[in-house]
Structure 1
Amino acid sequence: MGAQTYEPTWESLDARPIPAWFQDAKFGIFIHWGVYSVPSWIRVREGRYASYAEWYYARVMGELKGDEDFHARTYGADFEYRDFAPMFTADLFDPDFWAELFAEAGARYVVLTSKHHDGFCLWPTRSPFKQNWNSMDVGPKRDLVGELTEAVRRRGLRMGLYYSLIEWETNRTARTPSGRFIPQAAMDKYGIPLDRYVDEHVLPQLKELVTLYQPAVIFADGGEWDEGESFWHTREFLAWLYNNAPNKDEVVVNDRWAKGMPGRHGDYYSSEYQDVEGIGAGHP
């Protein structure tokens, strides 16, 4: 597989064989962990997507909140989401213990949220837009991605990374009446200029993660919500990944990189609750 060169077209990218290890792996561990783990709260509601505690910024403090006053009552009306970061200390984090537990459970791979929609990074990213908003600069003062990656591999498991393409502080959306997930004031204060967001932040971060940690699995998220592949440069990045990643013969990606992509392209499909029209019946 390594001798093949892939072009930035779906015909070429879709022709890439799915690495055999993933076909055989069957069972993996997926970890949501970040600043949102500090409050660890959301009101349980009816409906899909409604009770995700990792959506605290949007659902408890932002545009999707209901009538609860939990945040103001517990932390104060002037307490920003970013004020949680120093409280995210990870002081009990023992990566070797985690890896041992995962191995004993029979898992073959592990996927960690390197960056969720709040934009907080669990590694010391070089992105100029994430200084003081990553786990080395604030909170744990540790490379959480790197430590867990090393521990997992020592146990003979493969390591993967989740990466949110969108960030609530920057990206607008058609999913809410206001066109945003969080208060406009937070977007104005912390958002990245949209004309610089993909080329100067997202793509360099993705290549940084691939180069530093060589994830066997990349789980992209949010790219399919509002923007198409031309905005994200989806095909160009995947061609780079399949041709140039240090572990290019090992890595697999999902189908949430751009609007219109789910269930059509990707090494594995990751429909959240349903497989649209059974399209993935013969696909991982």
Structure 2
Amino acid sequence: MTVIPTAAQLAWQESAFGIFLHFGVNTFHGKEWSDGTLDPATFDPTELDARQWAETAAEAGAGHVILTVKHHDGFCLWPTDTTAYSVASSPWRGGRGDVVAELAEACREVGIGLGLYLSPWDRNAACYDDPKAYDAFYVRQLTELCTRYGPLTELWFDGAGSENRHYDWDAFMAVVDTHQPEAMVFNMGRPTLRWVGNEDGLAADPCWYATEATGVSIYDDRAQGLDEVRYLPPECDVPIRRHWFWQPDDLHTLKSREHLLAIWYRSVGLGAGLLLNVPPDRRGLIDTADRTRLLDFTAELRRRFAEPLRGELSPAGEGEIRVRFPGPVTFDHLQLGEGLAWGQHITGHEVLADGDPVAEGGTVGVRRVHATRTTTASELLVRFQGGGTLSSVTAYRTGHTTSPALQTQPPVITDKFDDRHPR
């Protein structure tokens, strides 16, 4: 069954890269998850600068940021009317601050999208054990966020802690449909994006967009109304260090540039989206070490793919595209793109350079990046199975070489830390 993406889904897939901002009362206590009892007076970032967050994301080439406006502890980064457990009860900005408003303004100024993470699980709300009362409470919070801060790129619904809990997703999605119909919906409710299934930032080949399950094991997809095949491209989330919230003692776990590049090849390079967590610290600033590593990683990506070598595409037969260059070109990377307006179709592909095989794989999707051996050729022939068509084939000479074992496979991550910490 072929399912068709929306224009908003295609735009999200083209954008590919976002920055996650885990920030809240946990930041000030060395916690990943807290139980809703931390004193809101301890939230006091003395130098908070949302413009620095947005400018860092924009400089890194991210299309959007996603802020944890309420994590599982229930502490809200905006002055909500639903609870006192928020920035309004903190000393920050004299209790008159609004992190979401400051970030929304900063994102508008630098020209990137704003997404919001609103945990369904709430360990502070007294009404949480009363499903009907809590559903109404959550609708009020979601309505505030969807009406106060302008257009939202993505709404991020984390399923952690909600095992066997059935929320009123019809009511929640009615809020989204009314106030933010273009926002992507991650993971729960009536999703338009799905979780890739791990917190290492890694997709797989094949990378399918059409599925009848989101791949999330913590709740029953069919109970959430996902009872048919739908177009749900995967998003790969991963922290730049071991933890999601900034911690004072884990600098040694900061991922190397090569690790981050390998993640990119195995997420964006396989046709998925990448959401890289780069959390603000206790000052309310993105840590200098994290910012430097992020920008080093993305600068290297720009360097590698700065000079595309494009040829003339023409059909060469059923399931074949020929690419002719004006003369011999030398390359070590190939990027393929599938035309997705009528759904994803390509199930397998191979690339021959002047008749010699240089790359092969499964799906292509919005993009498929191959690191190849250094090759000089005047013509490429791309054979693909499953129907559909290729919209682009681009070669690059990056100067980045791989071992023979990696020539048609994504790079291996070598400085692997245990990243399986709860969001």
Range of TM-score over shorter length:
0.5 to 0.7
**Mapping 1:59-138, distance limit 5 Å:** 81-83=37-39, 85-127=40-82, 130-131=83-84, 133-138=85-90
Residue number among 115, 135, 141 corresponding to 1:205 in the alignment: 141
Of 145, 160, 168 in structure 2, the residue corresponding to residue 233 of structure 1 is 168
Please tell me the root mean square deviation across aligned C-alpha atoms, in Å. 2.9
Letter in 2 for 1:33: F
Match of 1:26 in 2: 16
Distance in 1 separating the partners of 2:194 and 2:74: 24
1:254 aligns with 2:186: yes
Query: 1:192 Cα deviation (Å)?
Result: 4.5
Which residue does 2:98 correspond to in 1? 143
How many residues are treated as equivalent by the alignment? Answer: 202
What SS does the aligned partner of 1:99 have? helix
Residue type matched to 2:170 in 1?
R
Structure 2 gap segments, 5+ residues each:
210-232, 235-423
1:281 paired to 2:208: yes
Once the two structures are TM-superposed, the CA of residue 103 in structure 1 deviates from its matched residue by 0.9
The CA distance in 1 between the partners of 2:152 and 2:16, in whole Å, is 17
- Displacement of 1:120: 0.3
Q: Which amino acid aligns with 1:29?
A: I
Give the aligned partner of residue 6 of structure 2: 17
Tell me how far apart the structure 2 counterparts of residues 126 and 89 of structure 1 sit (CA, whole Å): 20
Evaluate the alpha carbon distance shift between residue 27 and residue 136 of structure 1 in structure 2; reply closer, same or farther with a 3 A threshold.
same
How far the C-alpha of 1:199 sits from its partner, in A, is: 3.4
What is the CA-CA distance between 1:226 and the residue it aligns to? 2.2
**Equivalents in 2 of 1:115, 1:122: separation in Å?**
7
Match of 2:32 in 1: 54
Shift of 1:277: 10
Contact 1:223/1:232, CA 8 A, preserved across alignment: no
Q: Normalising by the residue count of structure 2, what TM-score does the alignment of the two structures yield?
A: 0.43
Deviations 1:137-183 (A, max 9, x none): 3242210011011101210000000010011245xxxxxxxxxxxxx
Tell me how far apart the structure 2 counterparts of residues 204 and 148 of structure 1 sit (CA, whole Å): 21
- What does the per-residue CA deviation read over 1:195-252, in whole Å, with 9 as the maximum and x for residues that have no partner? 4533331111111111112321000113783245xx412134324422x11x42x211
Contact 1:223 1:256 in 2 (8 A): no
Tell me, in whole angstroms, the C-alpha distance in 2 between the residues paired with 1:16 and 1:224.
Answer: 30
Q: Aligned letter for 1:270?
A: W
Q: In structure 1, what is the Cα distance between the partners aligned to 2:70 and 2:133? A: 15
Tell me, yes or no, if the aligned pair for 1:18 and 1:267 is still in contact at 8 Å. Answer: no
TM-score (norm 1): 0.63
Letter in 1 for 2:194: Y
Structure 1 gaps of 5+ residues are: 1-13, 41-52, 59-79, 171-189, 258-264
Counterpart for residue 195 of structure 2: 270
| AA of the residue aligned to 2:72 | H
> Match of 1:135, as an amino acid?
V
Cα distance 1:101–1:196, how it changes in 2: closer, same or farther (>3 A)?
same
Following superposition, the deviation at residue 29 of structure 1 comes to 0.4
Residue 15 of structure 1: how far off its partner (Å): 7.5
Is the partner of 2:135 in helix, strand or coil? helix
Structure 2 counterpart of 1:201, which letter? F
Residue type of the partner of 1:136?
Answer: A
Cα–Cα, structure 1 residues 29 and 277, in superposed 2: closer, same or farther, change >3 Å? closer
SS in 2 for 1:136: helix
| Cα distance in 2, alignment partners of residues 126 and 239 from structure 1 | 20
Correspondence list, 1:214-233, <5 A: 214-222=151-159, 225-227=162-164, 231-233=166-168
Q: Secondary structure at the match of 2:88?
A: coil
Q: Deviations over 1:107-144 (max 9, x none)?
A: 110000010000000001111xx12x111232422100
Whether the 8 Å contact between 1:163 and 1:219 is mirrored in structure 2 is yes
Task: Quote how far apart the aligned CAs of 1:21 are.
Answer: 2.4
Say which one has the larger Rg.
2
1:125–1:205 CA contact under 8 A, matched in 2: yes
What residue identity is the alignment partner of 2:137?
H
Amino acid at match of 1:225: S
Q: Matched residue of 1:30: which SS? A: strand
- Change beyond 3 A, Cα 1:237–1:96: same
- Residue identity (%): 30
